[in-house]
Structure formats: C-alpha cells, structure tokens
A = this chain, B = another copy of it.
Amino acid sequence: MCSKIERTEFKVYPFHTDFQGKLSMSVLGNHLLNCSENHAVNRGFGEMAKNGTVYRWVLSRLVIEMFEMPKNGDKFFIDTWISNVYLYFTDRNYRITDSEGKAIGYAKAVWAMIDQADRKPKDLHELHGTTIDQYIDEETECPIAKASRVKPLAEDTYTKSIDTEYSDIDLNGHVNSIKYIEHILNLFNLEHYKQMSVKRFEIAYMAESYYGDVLKLYLRDNANDTFDAEAQKDSHDDAKNTVLVRCSMKFE
C-alpha cells in the first residue's frame, strides 16, 4: 500500500511565471490537478473503464490560498491526500511547501467521478469503495477555510465576452477547468498585479461549456481587495444564461 500522501517535486520554470517572475496561478492550478491524477492513479482509483463505460474525475470546487508564491527557479513540493469520501464527492487537500519544508500555501478541492456518457456523478463507494477508503487521511491538517457560497452577480457587473477556442477545450470535450481561472484573472490589468497578488482564489464549477459557446464574464468589486466573478454561457436568445462558474478572490 502506498502512503496516504503523494508528494511531487516541482521547479518554477521561466515559461511558467507571470511578468513578475512569480509562478502563474493557472500553472499552479494545473500542477494541483495533475498531482491529484498521480495520487489517484498510483493508488488504483484513477480514471476507469468498466462494462464499456468510461469514468473520469471532474473538478467541482477548488480553493487555493498562497502565503507566498514560488518564484522563477525555486523548487517546491505539492503534497496531496484525500480527507473525505461522500456518496458522489471526495474532499482532496493540498499543501505547498518550499524547498526548506515551510508551508507556503494550501488548497482544497472537491472532485466527483462522472460517467463520460451521461456526465452525471456516480456512487464512489460502488466504483472504488475499499480501494479509496484505505487512503482517507483525516488527521493531516489543511488549515484554510472551506469554499464559501458566492452570491449571484447582477447584470450590471458584466465585463466582457469571449469566444471559446480550440485550446480551451479539454479531453472531456468541455472548457478546461483551469482556463476559467486564466480568463477570470485576465479581467484585471497589469497595474493591478503590480500592486497586489492573489492571496486566496476559490472557484465552484456549476455547469459545463463547450466549443462554440460564448463566455460572458462578470466581475464585482466587494471592496477591501476582494472580488467575485462569474462566467455564464450566453444563451444567444431570450432564455436565461447558464451560470458556469462562480468565483471569489482576495488580493493583498
């Protein structure tokens, strides 16, 4: 049996940083997702095919809180473990440490496993019961607040629309979870990032969008350097738009 916690070492490459040489939040997001994949695959509960059906993990919520973002050339580690398994969801935690072992950030995610055909979450114990349960680690601490409930954004917070493109689409055929983060962080200009950094970023994935969809982005300034954002799928007619993701950010 593997240990409950999977550790992966990373280095910040120059082509993975923002203009200030700090690791891009979207690259960190991708690393977290890839670590989750590694952790699950190495323990026998990764993507699976059963009776002709393909089951894949999809991200439902993600919270990242960084005290210090690694910089160009820095080595760092991501530890990940599962803290809970419910009927349809797992809680997964992450600890980001610098090369000296000091925690520089934490993250929490909620994942579901969907049937690729009907896109619905499946009973995790039916799929992975004893395989996954032995890896639940309820002791290791992940001392950041859980995701909050972001209030819907009003129409007057509409900021801009973007067309989904080839590179937005992942192998599930929908817009890549991390691309939403990139699109939302692009709502702030370079001046903003010269003055402050993202301290906490949380996002809830509420519906899927596909190639050809137009993403309508909303941004609300809540004062005290906190902002909420939303991406909706433009319905192209009088019907109500569908909310795709809702997001909350704290800068400092």
Contacts and interface: CB of A to CB of B under 8 A. Distances in A.
A1 B20 CA distance: 33
Contact of A169 (B47, B178, B190): B190
Given A166-B189, A188-B166, A190-B211, A30 B18 contact: no
Interface residues of A, number: 37
B166 A15 contact: no
Interface string A33-46: 11001000000000
Contacts of A212: 190
Given A19-B211, A37-B14, A178-B15, A186 B171 contact: no
A123 interface: no
Interface in A163-189: 165-167, 169-171, 173, 176-178, 182, 185-186, 188-189
A72 interface: yes
A121 interface: no
B182 A167 contact: yes
Interface in A1-59: 13-21, 24, 26, 30, 33-34, 37, 47, 56
Contacts of A177: 15
**A13, A72, A188 — most chain B CB neighbours (10 Å):** A13
A193 interface: yes
A34 B13 contact: yes
Contacts of A47: 14
Given A19-B166, A166-B189, A190-B212, 12 more contacts: A14-B37, A14-B170, A15-B176, A16-B30, A18-B170, A18-B171, A19-B169, A26-B167, A72-B171, A166-B186, A167-B182, A169-B190
Interface of A: 13-21, 24, 26, 30, 33-34, 37, 47, 56, 72, 165-167, 169-171, 173, 176-178, 182, 185-186, 188-190, 193, 211-212
